[in-house]
Amino acid sequence: MPELPEVETTRRGIEPFLAGHRIEGVAVRDARLRWPVRADLATFLTGRPVEAVERRAKYLLLCLDGGDRVLIHLGMSGSLRLDDPSNPPRKHDHVEWRLDNGRVLRLHDPRRFGAVLTDRVDAPHERLERLGPEPLGPSFDGDHLASRLAGRRVAIKQAIMNADIVVGVGNIYASEALFLAGIHPMTPAGRLDHDECHALAAAIRQVLTAAIEQGGTTLRDFLAPSGNPGYFRQTLTVYERTGQPCRRCGTPIERVVLGQRSTWFCPGCQAAETRRR
């Protein structure tokens, strides 16, 4: 699933081609996404200028004139690709936006778990209203993390993947941040002390920033709008490295399942004693 760095990479890739340009037409080839695409999307968008391309959590926001927005979610396997309109759409290119600069933006989504929704800046969609702070924004730090984790018995790995606490920390980056902070993923969230919360918040920022700088992580399907893969996979420390030596201490990486998600950690650098306190 594309996570925050992949979505931010996509935003940066499409922004120069959309911001300041007008939507000349919209084609909906399959409206059966995670939520049905509104029937009048083409009428609603045709002729509208895109004023900015923003991101909230894993949602891309095409900001239009008059305060309207288009919310795009890539789901499990979705991607956005800028293309020449003379190239025929591929199978699973479900929605496309034709722009006044001669380019076309196509949403490719084989599993159809993505979404194309609309809302207004002054009346945000319900899926945005419940979200926690951005991990790279000013409102996320160790103090915020400490206040939200207090008293929680859930494993810290699951806690930081909860979008009510902080958005955009998916499975890959949660595992990597916990390794960087030296915290065992099964540690009860409420047992982290003040220093550990600050270390973890800093690690989340560091890991996500590095991933964005390297264009995200390509594991299976993800490609940037340019068609390039993300290179962060080459620097992963624990994720999907079962049995391989830790890059820091040489201890074999282990895998456990938390909340039905695979989780990787180094038993040397992320001591289990932290979990048993």
Which residues are known catalytic residues?
2-3, 58, 261
Per DSSP bridges, beta strands 68-73 and 49-56 are: unpaired
Nearest to 264 by CA among 205, 180, 199: 180
User: Coil, helix or strand for 188?
Assistant: strand
The partner residues of 72 in beta bridges, in order of sequence, read 60, 116
Sign of the Cα pseudo-torsion (184, 204, 218, 125, in order): positive
CA dist 201 and 210 (Å) reads 14
Measured CA to CA in angstroms, residue 48 lies from 26, 68, 104 at distances of 11, 10, 15
